[in-house]
Amino acid sequence: MNWPDHAIWWHVYPLGFLGKRKLPALEGWLDHLLELGCNGLMLGPVFAAESHGYDTTDHFRIDPRLGTEDDLVALIQKAKSRGVRVMLDGVFNHVGRSYGHQEWWIPEGDDYRVFEGHRSLVVLDHANPSVADQVTNVLDYWTERGVDAWRLDAAYAVPRPFWRTVTDRTREKHPGVWFSGEVIHGDYEAYVQEGGLDTVTQYELWKAIWSSLNDVNPHELAWALGRHNEMLDTFAPQTFVGNHDVTRIASRLTEPGHLPHALAVLFTVGGVPSIYAGDERGWQAVKEEREGGDDAIRPEFPPTPADLGDYGLDIQHLHQQLIGIRRRNPWLVRATAEVHTLGDGVLAYTLKAGENAVAVALNFGDRRAVAKLPPADWTHEAGEATTNPDGTAALPPLGWSISTY
């Protein structure tokens, strides 16, 4: 297993998280990250930008609102000294209007091509070799300064051969660097095989988790697990139930009692999981499709973890318990799921590697139910229900169970 197979990321959107504080303030949150069981710090945009960070003006300069290059390098070094990898957000599909280099923009009508109707986001011409040179130089510059991984924003909007060019060039100098592409729908595997990315964001699974739970219908999730298995033949997807672009999972779920179910899936299925800061305390916020509609899901955090108070501590403890199971079974990163019970609001599946197995039983409904799993000498790990040696798990309403052998 290489290092990304052991990664569990804590995802921070710095421009919101820090308020008027600078990057060094994040050093005080490294203990929190580690106590959760994470070992990766995934940072949203840190480069100079006009507003929200995705309208970059200079990829070689840290946004003055966040500090300086020295501040970022010091944070990376502090993280590394604690065994924490750092991922940066690479926004290379589009730039802000004041970016310059208009020769890299694509004329369209009496203006330039923009990203998904946002006039402030001008699309780069990825057919221009100079753009590939620029992106390669940016990746090299910051990877040289200790960055371990890159989230490639709007990767789905960029031609896959472009990604292949810049990732191949970067790996020549930095063979251990890891690339995660933001891909919402489409041919996920192609971005890995043709684009040279290591992984992509697993939006299909994200949607199936909350949608199935809200509908009290596990069939969509079971179908998504089948698709997920196919992806695992090629790569370990980047899995999540929350990020800086979507309504928080605690707000998305109609039934609060379904939150453990969502987390149980996230931390047992194959892939490389990430936790969006605040979700580990059950924070709520709704994304709105309007100007400033992301503000609620990108809030300022208190100065230190101690200032979080007691709200949501039970949810944080649940994260720690589930991540602990994940840590004790690191083979789960590439494990495929086999469904054993499906229907009447119940989903039960196993994941196996050699002599080891993890069994998950979920009752989506508000009535008692029984899940059937393979007979084995199961050891109870989490949840209200135990799985008997004959493979049955008696689940209370909204009950769930994780067992191992």
* Interval 234-269: pLDDT, tens: 999 999 999 999 999 999 999 999 999 999 999 999
pLDDT tens digits, 28-72: 999 999 999 999 999 999 999 999 999 999 999 999 999 999 999
Task: Tell me the average pLDDT across 195-199.
Answer: 98
CA distance 42 to 299: 16
pLDDT tens digits, 101-145: 999 999 999 999 999 999 999 999 999 999 999 999 999 999 999
Return contacts of 114-123, CB within 8 angstroms, 24+ apart. Answer: 115/154, 115/157, 116/157, 118/94, 120/50, 120/51, 120/55, 120/96, 121/54, 121/55, 121/94, 121/95, 121/96, 122/94, 122/95, 122/96, 122/97, 123/93, 123/94, 123/157
Please give the mean pLDDT across all residues of the chain.
Answer: 97
pLDDT tens digits, 205-243: 999 999 999 999 999 999 999 999 999 999 999 999 999
Phi first, then psi, for residue 102 (nearest 5°) are -65, -15
pLDDT of residue 1 exceeding 70: no
pLDDT score, position 291: 85
Tokens of 144: 């040289």
Task: Tell me the average pLDDT across 348-352.
Answer: 98
pLDDT score, position 181: 98
pLDDT score, position 100: 87
CA distance 60 to 66: 14
CA distance 241 to 205: 9
What is the reported pTM?
A: 0.97
Q: How would you classify the pairing of strands 379-383 and 400-404? A: antiparallel
Tokens of 142: 């910051």
H helices present in 37-155, as ranges = 69-81, 129-144
pLDDT tens digits, 371-387: 999 999 999 999 999 99
Q: Using alpha carbons only, what angle is made at residue 255 by residues 251 and 258, rounded to the nearest 5 degrees?
A: 95
Tracing tokens 């890159």 back to the chain, one arrives at 150
| CA-based nearest residue to 381, from 354, 362, 358, 355 | 358
pLDDT tens digits, 163-193: 999 999 999 999 999 999 999 999 999 999 9
CA distance 9 to 41: 6
